[in-house]
Amino acid sequence: MNILRRIMRRLRRSFPTTDFMKHKHEECANFANGRCNFYHITVNPKGSACPHFKAKNKKAETKTTNTDEEN
């Protein structure tokens, strides 16, 4: 029985994780103008991302505040 458990653990480790399935093509750094730059094909931006998903860098949103004080 222990041999079977060890084999199952090794198999689970060898399979890729499915975290990329939570993301969409449009969120990927390899996506631009409706095309996947990794595979060089046209993809649906709302479709699930592929295993080569790489998140885009989020740009920090800066808010401008009015610093002029009225006297």
- Whether residue 62 is predicted with pLDDT greater than 80 in this model: the reply is no
Residue pLDDT, tens place only, 12-51: 776 666 666 788 889 999 999 999 998 899 999 998 888 8
Model confidence band, residue 3 (pLDDT cutoffs 50, 70, 90): confident
Q: pTM here?
A: 0.51
Reduced 3-state DSSP string for 6-66: HHHHHHHHHCCCCHHHHCEHHHECCEECCEECCCCEECCCCCECCCCCCECCCCCCCCCCC
